[in-house]
Structure formats: structure tokens, C-alpha cells
Structure 1
Amino acid sequence: MELLRLEHKKLWHRRSVQTGVLLCFLYIIIFGDLLSYQWFTFGSADDFTSSFGNHFDGYSNIRKKQEYAKQWEGDLTDETLQAMVRDYQERAGSNDISEYEMTDWEALNAWVQTLWPELEEADQPYIMISYVDPSQLTGFEERREKALDNFLDMNGQTGEEKEYFLNMYTKVDTPLQYRWTKGWTFVTADFVSQCGVILGIFLAIGIAPMFCGEWHDRTKALIATTKNGWKKIAGVKVMAAVLFTLELYGIITVSSVFLQIVFLGTEGWDMPIQCIKILAAAPWNVLQAEIYEYIYLLLAALGYTGIVLLCSALTKSNYVSLLISLAIIFVPMAASQFLPLWGQRLLDLIPFVGSSTDIFRTNTYHLFGLRIWSPYLLITVPISLGLISLPFAVHFWAKRAKI
């Protein structure tokens, strides 16, 4: 334990780590979370030209929107949808942005566009719910099932794979229970999924020098004189790196959940994810989706830690180790768009390359004759890659250190 304490202290005493953690906190929690709630995303708007034009009143504006949405809470039926669209049109007619900005217009428009595409007028410069006749919005549940069926066909997902998702869909409770969607959309479809890459960058900054830093700091000879074996010291370094990962993850997660509760409260946690993405097949509510996304973030972070440690053990330069570690995330992300679908799916299994928002999608992997929904592999493969990397990291560093 004393060795671990000293190694952990040594890690945190590095200026790059202190600066990196501070920047990570500022970028994710202050700019990405706090200011998004209070200003960029939820601040009231006088125009839609820029988020920077929003007022600094997110907290009170969220409360107003939640209060407005309560009149529609409950079963999402044809009548409810029609009433919501009609109310939006009345408010939009006033040409006062603050009036129709109060509505859940983004979700409404997405639902109508997806389920009633035949009502869209190509020559209309306005969003669809501005001109559609609310009385024509009928058969919500039937159209949702048909739209999912057509979507799977368009994706080439037929036969057993199609049946897999249609059976999953049958477990979704109907009618859908509507709650104000924008807050939970921000959390589950935007914020958490975007934390991964940023977290990966600062993990690399902190962990990349873990092994190769001994050459950089010229302490290899000093370590050689200690009574502890190379592998024991390597094991301590691994534990210190994992502890650092858990600490950084904890700082980000606890802070973001705290701000979420302060600004959004807990209302709407039981809303089905179909209210966020109408063609989602999973029978999950938004709380389950958020829990999954934070688990994904944790396991991806731990898996990435193992891979970065292996990179550090294989090099003698902090900078080379850092560049390789960052390349593991960014090269696959850049190359993915040029690959066939199977190649993209394969790269998604690398920590932080895939996305936790696959819970809203119908992606699958075919493995040993089994059909596996992508979110399951996206949380198991990254941590497995990290665990596989750790013994190699210890072995290679101990072997090179003896030379």
C-alpha cells in the first residue's frame, strides 16, 4: 500500500496531470454542462441565430418548460399529439419566439416528420409542425410500428434480425408516456456520449508517461536498486493508473449528475426512450439509458487505461506514448467513414471510438452464429481489450527495464 500511495502521489504531482484534470473539469463540467444548462442550450432565446444569444436564465427557463409540458404528461395518444401541435401553431402565430420556444417543438417535429412523411411539403420553408393539419395526425402507434418495420427493411435488416428487433419492440409499454423531452435528450443523446473522447484525451495525458516516464525522468537506475521486483513495481503502476482513471471518472460523473439534478430534477426518469428517438426498439426508460451510458463510459475508460499502459511500456518517450495513445482513438474515428459497415462496427469496439447512443439504434454484431445487439458488446469488448493489455504491459516493461 505504501508503494501505491507513493506512485499515486507521484502521478498527481506531475504538472501535466494537474493541468489536464483542471482543463477536463472546465471543458466538460463548466462549459459542457453548467453553461449548457444555464446558457447555451436551455437559456431563453430571442432568436435562433446563435446559442450565445441566449439569455443566462437556464434554470428558470427549464422550470417554465417543465411546467408547460405537465399539461400533456401521460399517455401519448393521437389526441394528445394533435393538441400539442395545435398549441404550437397558435403560439408560433404570434411571431414571439419566447411563446413557441416554450413548447417541445423539436421532439414534436421529429415525430411528425418520421411518422407522417406524406404530409411534408417540399416547398415549405418552415418546420413541418408549422403547417401540417393536426387533424391528419392519426394512428400514432400503428404508424410507429410500421415506420420501424420500414426502417429495418431500408437498413437491410430482414429475416431473423428484423424479427429480433420487432420482438424487442413488443416489450415497449404502450401507449408511450410523455414527459418533457429536451432535458433528457441533452443528457442521454448528447452530453454523456460526447464526454468519452474528451475523457480519453485527458486520461492519455495522465497515464501515457506511467512506464516510459522512468526513462524520461532518468529514474530507471534508481528503481533497479530497490528491494522490490520489476513486476511488483509495474503492478503498483497499473493500480495507480486505474485509481487515477476512477478518480477522474468520479469527478466528471458526480459533478455532472449533481448539476443534472439541480437543473433538471428527477422528473421524467420513467419516460421511454422512444420519446427521444421515435424508432428506438429497446424497452428502456431514460434513466436506464443514462445508467447504461455511464457504465459504458466507465468500462471504456478502464479499457483505454490498459491500452495506454501497454503503449507506455512499449516506448521510452512520453511524447511517443501520448501520440500513440491518442491515435488509438482518433485514427479509427477518422478512418471509419471510408470503411464498409462491417469495418465501422469493428472499430466501434475500440474504447471511446464507438458511442453509448447505440441504445437508440438497431445495430447488431454476428458472432459465432449469435446475433448480439451492439450495446452489449460496446461495454464488454473495450474493458476486455484493456484487461488483455495489462499483463503484456507489465511483461514488456519489466523485460525492457532489466536491459
Structure 2
Amino acid sequence: MGRLIRYEWKKIWQSRMVQGAVLACSVFILFCIYMSIMQLETYDKRGNRITGIDAVREVKKTQEVLLNQEEVNQIVKEYLDYTKNPQTSSDKKEFEFLSEKVYRTWYLPRKEQIMLIKNGYAPLFSETDMKTIFEENYRKDFAQSCVQRKQEMITYEMKNGSVTKEQAQYWMEKVEGYPIIYGKATAWEGILGGNNASWILLIMLVVCIGAAPVFAGEYQSRADSILLCMRYGKSKLISAKILATFLFASSVYIGMWAGVCEIYLAIFGAAGMDLPLEVYYLSMAVSLPLTMGEAVLVVSVLGLFVTWGITALTLCLSAVFKSAYGVIIIDTVMIFSSFFLYSEYFGYGMKHILALLPSSIDDLSFQNYTAYTFGSMTFSLPQTLAAAQIILGVLFVLLAHYKFQSHQVNR
């Protein structure tokens, strides 16, 4: 069995199309990482905008700060004192009612930290300016305000019809008032970035290119009649093809995704791994109480599961169709369906179905309150997505095995 798996493994990798796809995807991902680093921007202590490698060095100097009530009060008081002093204030909203000098030297270097505090106090979907919010909430319990904001978001989702009453209760139980720590988690933010989730889709496409000819290629070469007449043609050989394909899919995904993570961590370091997700989603309430490191782990594991899911679907299509190119076309539509199927245009049921497609990994957000209820049990979207890929993957593999084993070779 081991020899058969190695043979099928080598057969997949010997394809020039597969080699070209892996190379092209790797080069594209490296280029995107390079561009994301060059576009990185921050501000130094003088308020000067710096980008690229200089921004990387500046980001590494950031110290973590626990936003307890004393720290929050101090920052809010300092801001309000500036706005009350005629020499350090202005009537310009674009400068947050500060003078240009104070805005550049005090506000810009602390912008994300101040915005995190502002959004913790701000009412849901509020467009109220920072000065008003801080004046109305000075000395108010910051941790409780953050909890209340999440509760308001869950209530809004329930009234909007996005979650049921039972699902709203499920999310309410997950709301925690844990202390918020501010800091820079640039490497982890880079890995979680929207474009990076799209890279998983590209990796899935590469996997599909390798998996599409596994059975369809035998039809095209008319080798299926010979293979099925061999001693283990209808048992071990088919199993070897399936196992080799999943090993190929796993190696491509793990290799490329681990490469992305290693590059970001090598450049920015692992600082910020234990920071809460609030430092990434500054303006929205976070649904799951995860740290940045835990969120990256969730995305990484889900990416592997959806890659397995699309691999199983590809094997099933490959056993049904006699053209590998037809299989790749169908896979491409499935993988990139998220770019032209907007869930907000559909009802509750269709939204929940679309969220379980492999392409949904591109839209995976920890601001999402989508949940699934089965009987008396409720599960989050990441949990249900992982379970759906496993269940459907097993079903597609069994169908692929049965279809290739039982098809009529003389037709």
C-alpha cells in the first residue's frame, strides 16, 4: 500500500501544470507579502509618517499597555485637558479638536490606543466625535462599556434577523469583561489580513489543479480499464490515489501557509500573540473571546479543513467527469464564489448555507455572529464550518471511490 501511495504521490508532483501552479502561487504570495510590508505605515514620537522597513523598526518599539480604568482615565483626561486649553486645541474636527502640533506629536503616535478607548465607550454604529464621547464617558467603567457594546451588537443582530433568540443567548454567554491590553501585534495582524485569507483560496486552487486529473486523467488516457482489471485495481489502488491526493493537498497547504506565517514572524517577531482581538478590530465588537495567536490558529486549522473539503469534492468530480479541465473550472467557480455571491442579498437560511462553502474562508471574520442551532445545541460558524467540511469530505470521498470502482470502462 505504501508503494502505491508513493507512486501516486510522485505522479501528481510530476505534472508540469502542478509544478507551475505551485511556483506561480508561491511567487505571487511572496510579492504580496513584500508589498504589504512596503505599505505598512505608522508615526514616530514627533508625528512624522514613516513607512516600509522604517515602520517595521518603529512598530517593534511599541510597549504593551494594560487598559485598566486608571490608565483609561489618564488618557481621556489628558485629551480633554488639551481640548480645553486654547493653546493646544482647535475647532477642526480632522485634528480631533486639537492643535496641529498636539495632533501630530501626541495624538498620532497614540492613535490606535486612543481609538480603542473611544470605540469602547462609543454607542453602536455611532458617528459621534471623540471629544463628545470622552466628555460624556470620562471616569465611566471602561470594561463594562466594552461588555455592554458587545451585548448591544448581539441584540442588534437578533432584531435584524441574523441570529435567533437561542443563538443570541449563546453569544451573550460568551461575552467576557476581560481586561483589554493594547500593543502591536503586527505579525499576527498581517497573517489575519483580508488579502491573506484570499491566499488560502489560491492555495486551494493549486490543490484542485493537482487533484483534478487523479481519476479524470485515467479516463482520458484510457488506462482506467487496465487499472480496474489489476489485482488491487478496485481496492488498494483507488484508496492509494485518494490518500496520495490528500497528502499532496496537506503538504501544499501546510508548506505555503507555514511559509506565510514564518515570514511575518521573522520580520515582525511574535510580539502581541497574547493580545485580545480588539487590537485588530478597533471599530467593531468581537464575537469570540480570542487572543491574536488563538485567532491565527483557528484560521490556520479552518484553512486546512476547507482545503480537505475542496480536495474531496475535486476527487468526486474527477471520478464523474472525463475531463480534468472541466473539474478545474467547476472548482474555480466554487472557490471564488464569495466574490460574486453577497450573503446580505439572501435570507437567513441561504446566508447560513453560503457560510459553509469552502470559499467562505475568505470572509471569515471574528466580528461575525453567525451561529447554527441543532436541537438544543448551538455552535459558532468556525465550529460548524469545520464539521461540515469533515462530513461532506467523507461523503465525497466515498462517492469518488464508488464511482470510479463501478463505472463501465467500455463505454
Q: Establish whether TM, by shorter chain, passes 0.5.
A: yes
* Alpha-carbon distance between aligned partners in 2 of 1:75 and 1:263, rounded to the nearest angstrom: 27
Given the alignment, which residue of 318, 323, 340 partners 2:324?
318
Cα displacement string for residues 60-86 of structure 1 (whole angstroms, at most 9, x for unaligned residues): 41231231x31x612354236537968
* Alpha-carbon distance between aligned partners in 2 of 1:9 and 1:73, rounded to the nearest angstrom: 52
CA contact (8 A) 1:333 1:353 kept: no
Matches within 5 A, 1:92-111: 93-94=100-101, 102-105=109-112, 108-109=114-115
Task: Structure 2: give runs of 5+ residues left out of the alignment.
Answer: 83-94
Aligned to 1:346: 353
Secondary structure at the residue paired with 1:295? helix
Cα displacement string for residues 139-174 of structure 1 (whole angstroms, at most 9, x for unaligned residues): 32232222222212211257543332222113x52x
Aligned AA for 2:66?
Answer: G
Secondary structure at the residue paired with 1:312? helix
Aligned AA for 1:74?
Answer: L
- Following TM superposition, by how much is the alpha carbon of 1:17 offset from its aligned partner in structure 2, in angstroms? 0.2
1:62 aligned onto 2:56: yes
1:230 aligned onto 2:234: yes
Aligned to 1:287: 293
Secondary structure at the residue paired with 2:285? coil
Secondary structure at the residue paired with 2:378? strand
**Number of residue pairs aligned between Structure 1 and Structure 2:** 381
- Following TM superposition, by how much is the alpha carbon of 1:118 offset from its aligned partner in structure 2, in angstroms? 9.6
1:75 aligned onto 2:67: yes
- Following TM superposition, by how much is the alpha carbon of 1:185 offset from its aligned partner in structure 2, in angstroms? 3.0
* Alpha-carbon distance between aligned partners in 1 of 2:354 and 2:192, rounded to the nearest angstrom: 22
Aligned to 1:41: 40
Matches within 5 A, 1:4-403: 4-28=5-29, 30-37=30-37, 39-42=38-41, 55-57=51-53, 60-67=54-61, 69-70=62-63, 73-77=65-69, 78-79=72-73, 81-82=75-76, 93-94=100-101, 102-105=109-112, 108-109=114-115, 112-113=118-119, 115-117=121-123, 128=129, 134=134, 136-138=136-138, 139=140, 140-156=142-158, 157=163, 159-170=165-176, 172-173=177-178, 175-224=179-228, 226-277=230-281, 278-331=284-337, 334-337=340-343, 338-354=345-361, 357-400=364-407, 402-403=409-410
- State the identity %: 18
- TM-score when normalising by structure 1: 0.82
Instruction: Say which is worse superposed, 228-237 or 217-226, in terms of deviation.
Output: 217-226
* Alpha-carbon distance between aligned partners in 1 of 2:237 and 2:99, rounded to the nearest angstrom: 66
- Following TM superposition, by how much is the alpha carbon of 1:370 offset from its aligned partner in structure 2, in angstroms? 2.2
Aligned AA for 1:347?
Answer: L
Cα displacement string for residues 238-296 of structure 1 (whole angstroms, at most 9, x for unaligned residues): 11110111111121122112112112211111111133235114222111111111010
Instruction: Say which is worse superposed, 330-339 or 391-400, in terms of deviation.
Output: 330-339
Aligned to 2:90: none
Q: CA RMSD in A?
A: 3.4
Aligned AA for 2:148?
Answer: K
- Seen in structure 2, the aligned counterparts of structure 1 residues 194 and 94 have a Cα distance that, compared at 3 Å, is farther
* Alpha-carbon distance between aligned partners in 1 of 2:226 and 2:377, rounded to the nearest angstrom: 52
- Seen in structure 2, the aligned counterparts of structure 1 residues 221 and 92 have a Cα distance that, compared at 3 Å, is farther
CA contact (8 A) 2:287 2:367 kept: yes
Task: Structure 1: give runs of 5+ residues left out of the alignment.
Answer: 46-52, 123-127
* Alpha-carbon distance between aligned partners in 2 of 1:217 and 1:119, rounded to the nearest angstrom: 60
1:2 aligned onto 2:9: no
Aligned AA for 1:260?
Answer: Y
Secondary structure at the residue paired with 2:60? helix
* Alpha-carbon distance between aligned partners in 1 of 2:137 and 2:385, rounded to the nearest angstrom: 37
- Seen in structure 2, the aligned counterparts of structure 1 residues 101 and 318 have a Cα distance that, compared at 3 Å, is farther
Aligned to 2:85: none
- Seen in structure 2, the aligned counterparts of structure 1 residues 112 and 16 have a Cα distance that, compared at 3 Å, is same
CA contact (8 A) 2:224 2:409 kept: no
* Alpha-carbon distance between aligned partners in 2 of 1:15 and 1:179, rounded to the nearest angstrom: 46
Secondary structure at the residue paired with 2:366? helix
